[in-house]
Structure 1
């Protein structure tokens, strides 16, 4: 990771209206609302039928970037994701909240170790299991979903172990830390969006993040602590990643990191392990996104706003009470259905995905470099720490291959 020292701030960059904010239910996610519109049932994956129908048409027409081979590679890349967590349903498949294969005696006696050493061990082990970035934060309950897609609530309870009952998902009150992990995707593949190859890179990211979260949770349980592995379930990923110092949120509503921009997938492990939290960062992203419109201009669904951040949501998929750029998520998902594959245009065109090149200056509505351009500074740091090479102003930097330690 790029050292965070120069970026660290006391408070996260977002603003919350505590009187207005309410915990968000999964059944208001676009995946659920669009599925319900299409099928009449409150399901999570009903939306995918229309996307698969479009995919069939693409394959029959043998369209470039949407051939049978392209889709075959995509389906293979998504296999581990579906095996591990079925797109992140809580307490299901390998995302079970109980230990999977650990001998029971190992789960009963927490290993005693200084928090500093324990935190270092967890981060190093996360990298061994596939994490490209990892941070720790106190678990803020406001970022835990209020209910799942079937309206079963998530509650904090006086229970030693996490469990699911007929009435609720019960998280122990002792679970007060979130380990947030980012897995980088292939930028060259993302660049082909909205073709299937870009969607394949996302599928690989989902599969890798599932492997990492499940492996890390089992490791933590083996040390005698509680661990809840999460993909897209249980908690919101982006605000926890911001709290853990991994990055800031951009105009497109995604996390942007100093190392990879928003070209990452996020997963979490919730735990009662006494870890030392990281601090949030400010790399000047909010100011940059105010003047850059690339993601909004290149969104085929017109789902990304060109307006200023707001506390008020613009559709039922938004949660009012947090000041941010509001995204029409259901419009985005409807384009996926028409396209026959995920669309990642917003990540592909974001200047932070590759780093600075001169033509990006022409996309800014104004240039404010009073404290230096955030993109310039980040690109310099990426080159210094080995994430890119040949970062010349007149051409796109070359992204160095990832050097993962393990899985």
Structure 2
């Protein structure tokens, strides 16, 4: 091959020195701007704050009535804020569901009930002949406030629990066998996700929130710029979504309880147990951060998937953001899956525009569906708030009902519209006791996320799914919703209800091969401990 010198090459290319300069400048300009794209930073896409679903056209001034409708009334003694009843965890766990105290934490051989502790619930073993008048003063007060819970609790106590306990006892061996064999890799992955510990909060806000706060405070040019920085920093730490909203004090729990729920497992997060929570005056704003759980693994829920991925991501980001805020001179406190909460999160997620509350009582995002495990940071830093969104979830949820059909314990409402009234709100009913039982009944890693897996909004970021999301979000007629629901039922084979329970232990969808044990493991031998 003949050698071509530089001058001959430039002549052949039809450019001189000036042309080459122009070409180089143009190349540099294009390369520089292409390099600004999040997609050019391989493996770092979400850390640039990029969101592929544009929420701005769907912003509204107020959370949609489909998410919830405040109906009040206000309760005395600071039990309510703006008609929303602050959840008294003494009601929720401390008395109504003492069965929560029987739940065994951990996943080997299976999450479940300690059957040596006797009765799983403190309601009378038979319903009193004189009805509510035959109950304790505690129950009478509770059901007077929330009469729709009477039938829910009676069905749970007298119809559901007896057969659940029998099913649980009968499946102990089969669940242990699943976890030791077919589910081994899923279990090992779950343990790996838990390997890096995340701190819990054990001191009250006046101590915890201010500990380590810099004596010199950074004053921002504007709340808008402060929010911009907060979102960019959270994205840099790994958050796929960040939202800001003034903290709605109605969501703050009235108390923590010793038997579980919110901060109960960590000694009340410094507030104490069975003690009314005084809301700190510096809890002005709530910053919601979230990552996603593994898309492939969660398709195999409930027996192959787990929540630890999402728990880790959001808990770590929340703690890091607290450190960041304190360094800038502002008090901050995290509320996270591993660190405990002082309030339920779905309402905050809806108010900051992550999504809308769906049939499952979770906040469903237009880009992630339910595949999120959010954490929240409370702080006094002045921030510009995000508005809620309305992306036509009401039209979709009222027709779909796949989550109700797939639920292993049938804990989700089939109603066409929100019709359940509790805690001063009208919303869909999820039987949370049955939902918790679904976590305990299955095999594999901790918990059940079948409703998240089956939700048609829980789809990966492909051009087809982006197109469908945009169409569904703009179409208020219901036509596209019907087509999408038909496609979901027809094109995506799935398992329902009892198929997910013992002895079948299936996932909503077939689990990915890479997490199926028999794809890799041929047999088991005793480990030669201390040898190699």
Shorter-chain TM-score category? 0.7 to 0.9
Cα offset for 1:204?
1.0
- Output aligned runs, 1:181-260, within 5 Å: 181-195=289-303, 197-199=304-306, 202-232=307-337, 233-260=341-368
Cα offset for 1:134?
0.6
CA distance in 2, matches of 1:58, 1:97: 45
- Output aligned runs, 1:289-304, within 5 Å: 289-304=397-412
Cross-structure match for 1:51: 111
Q: Provide, for residues 339-395 of structure 1, a one-character-per-residue CA deviation record: whole Å limited to 9, x for no partner.
A: 1341111011110011778xx9xxxxxxx8527646999xxxxxxxxxxxxx99x96
TM-score of the superposition, structure 2-length normalised?
0.57
Deviates more, 1:167-176 or 1:267-276: 167-176
Match of 1:370 among 450, 473, 477: 477
Indicate conservation of the 8 Å contact 2:256/2:272, yes or no. Answer: no
Q: Provide, for residues 19-63 of structure 1, a one-character-per-residue CA deviation record: whole Å limited to 9, x for no partner.
A: 1641112345569965x32657xxxx6566872577973564246
Match of 2:208 among 97, 101, 105: 97
TM-aligned CA distance change 1:62 to 1:327, over 3 Å: closer
Is the aligned partner of 1:69 residue 2:185?
Answer: yes
Report SS of the residue matched to 1:301: coil
Q: Provide, for residues 300-347 of structure 1, a one-character-per-residue CA deviation record: whole Å limited to 9, x for no partner.
A: 10000101444545xxxxx43212111001111112212134111101
Indicate conservation of the 8 Å contact 1:351/1:375, yes or no. Answer: no
Is the aligned partner of 1:354 residue 2:459?
Answer: yes
Cross-structure match for 2:216: 109
Whose radius of gyration is greater, 1 or 2? 2
Cα offset for 1:92?
6.2
Q: Comparing both structures, which one devotes a greater share of its residues to strand? A: 1
Cross-structure match for 1:271: 379
TM-score of the superposition, structure 1-length normalised?
0.73
Indicate conservation of the 8 Å contact 2:392/2:476, yes or no. Answer: no
Match of 1:84 among 187, 199, 218: 199
Q: Provide, for residues 110-138 of structure 1, a one-character-per-residue CA deviation record: whole Å limited to 9, x for no partner.
A: 20112221111111111111211011001
Cα offset for 1:70?
2.6
Report SS of the residue matched to 1:84: coil
Indicate conservation of the 8 Å contact 1:180/1:267, yes or no. Answer: yes
Indicate conservation of the 8 Å contact 2:254/2:276, yes or no. Answer: no
Is the aligned partner of 1:5 residue 2:56?
Answer: yes
Stretches of structure 1 lacking an aligned partner (at least 5 in a row): 155-161, 314-318, 361-367, 378-390, 397-407
Cross-structure match for 1:175: 283
Indicate conservation of the 8 Å contact 2:403/2:450, yes or no. Answer: yes
Is the aligned partner of 1:262 residue 2:407?
Answer: no
CA distance in 1, matches of 2:93, 2:436: 7
Q: Provide, for residues 124-166 of structure 1, a one-character-per-residue CA deviation record: whole Å limited to 9, x for no partner.
A: 1111112110110011100111111249xx9xxxxxxx97579
Report SS of the residue matched to 2:58: coil
Is the aligned partner of 1:15 residue 2:69?
Answer: yes
- Output aligned runs, 1:366-405, within 5 Å: 370=477, 373=480
Cross-structure match for 1:37: 99
Cross-structure match for 2:246: 138
Cross-structure match for 2:80: none
CA distance in 2, matches of 1:237, 1:16: 17
Cross-structure match for 2:432: 329
Cα offset for 1:207?
1.0
Deviates more, 1:330-339 or 1:243-252: 330-339
Match of 2:87 among 24, 48, 51: 24
Cα offset for 1:254?
1.1
CA RMSD between the two structures: 3.6
TM-aligned CA distance change 1:354 to 1:290, over 3 Å: same
Q: Provide, for residues 257-297 of structure 1, a one-character-per-residue CA deviation record: whole Å limited to 9, x for no partner.
A: 11111111111000100000000010000121001110001
